[in-house]
Amino acid sequence: MNPEPRRRPLTLRDVSLASGVSEMTVSRVLRNRGDVSPATREKVLTAARTLGYVPNKIAGGLASQRVNLVAVVIPSLSNLVFPEVLGGISAELDDTGLQPVIGVTNYGPAREEAVLYDMLSWRPSGVILAGLEHSRASRAMLGNAGVPVVEIMDIDGPPIDCAVGISHERAGEEMAAQILGAGYRRIGFIGTHMPEDHRARKRLDGFERALARAGLALVAREFYQGGSSLAKGRELTERILAREPDLDFLYYSNDLIGAGGLLWALGRGIDIPGRLGLAGFNGVDLLDGLPMRLATTDARRLDIGRRAARIVAGKDPRPDSGVVALAPTFLPGDTIRAPRG
């Protein structure tokens, strides 16, 4: 399904018409000035939120009513995934006069709303944000921003304007095919709780569908909350194998916990990849320093950042379909057996 064409930015008049009060009253409410009754204030704020209206904080005399900023909204700065994405964005914007400004949501929909509201009020020249899942208010603001909006990392769903990323469902399916092709059959999964980690959930969905087509199901799974770490990878690997010692493969939702699991298994003298195979996801640089290279999937992070920035900067046209699909790439490393002939 193609996204809707970009609409014109909303104005005070739109909010005035929707709320049934004057533009002056709307202005007072949104600037938090003047004596306005609580009922009227709530009526205006509800109308603005429903429409996706964001006030304009830049000087009224600025001819373009835009600033040379690109709003970049990501879930985390501590996650090893996003610095490479930001590097790709920065590299492509470097010669354009546009500057990226970073907002962090901590994987929270309400926090994303607040970040978008603040950033859009400065009328950036474009928006790049992670993921396809947003609250209704966030979608309304983005749909009415009147600038290029590029959702990154994921293409498993319809974009608001344009999406650049990989199919995480496909990545999960392809990893399952590699594992099954190498002869593993008793497979466990270790990953984050997934109410807000939509991309990890999609990978697991694809993974389990591929197992089901082969007549198999996950034997065991372990979930954790909070950030990823080597320590969590060690702890959860020990826990799942204590419960299901006959597992012959562990699929991790990311490389960091996978690296922790690998270090734990090597410390116990477990034969990898013969007795136990392991794989993660992302292809982060951390893997270069491990005693064995963890099998993983290259999620094309640098390319995603570059392609998104090129669209926002006008270097590349917006694709007619609204989607730039990059292919996830399996990296076998040393922790999975060679495919059986």
How many Cα atoms within 13 Å fall on the side-chain side of residue 96?
Answer: 23
**Does the residue 332 lie in any domain?**
no
Q: What's residue 193's pLDDT?
A: 78
Same domain, 275 and 174: yes
- Say whether both 97 and 134 belong to one domain: yes
35 within a domain of the structure (yes/no): yes
What's the CATH number where 10 sits?
Answer: 1.10.260.40
- pLDDT category, 323, cuts 50, 70, 90? very high
Contact at 8 Å (CB) between 337 and 274?
yes
pLDDT at 62 over 70: no
Asked if 223 and 105 sit in the same domain, the reply is no
Q: Please check whether residues 181 and 125 belong to one and the same domain.
A: no
CATH code for the domain in which residue 227 is found: 3.40.50.2300
pLDDT, one tens digit per residue, over 163-189 is 999 999 999 999 999 999 999 999 999
Q: Are residues 11 and 76 in the same domain?
A: no
- The torsion defined by the Cα of 171, 174, 176 and 178, in degrees rounded to 10, comes to -130
Q: List the domain range (segments joined by +) for residue 29.
A: 1-51
| Statement: residue 6 has pLDDT above 90 | no
pLDDT-above-70 percentage for the chain: 93
Do 68 and 119 reside in the same domain of the chain?
yes
- Indicate whether 61 pLDDT > 60: no
Q: Do 214 and 226 fall within a single domain?
A: yes
Same domain for 277 and 190, yes or no, is yes
Residue 185 has a pLDDT of 97
pLDDT in tens, 99-121: 999 999 988 899 999 999 999 98
Domain count, the chain: 3
* 252-287: pLDDT as tens digits: 999 999 999 999 999 999 999 999 999 999 998 888
Instruction: Give the 3-state secondary structure of 152-203.
Output: EEECCCCCCCEEEEECHHHHHHHHHHHHHHCCCCCEEEEEECCCCCHHHHHH
Q: What is the mean pLDDT of the chain?
A: 90
Q: Crossing angle, helix 38-51 and helix 12-19, to 10 degrees?
A: 120
Please tell me whether residues 84 and 208 are part of one structural domain.
no
Instruction: Encode pLDDT of 154-169 as tens digits.
Output: 999 999 999 999 999 9
Model confidence, pTM: 0.81
Q: What is the pLDDT of residue 63?
A: 44
8 Å CB contact between 75 and 133: no
pLDDT category of residue 122 using cuts at 50, 70 and 90: confident
- 230 within domain boundaries: yes
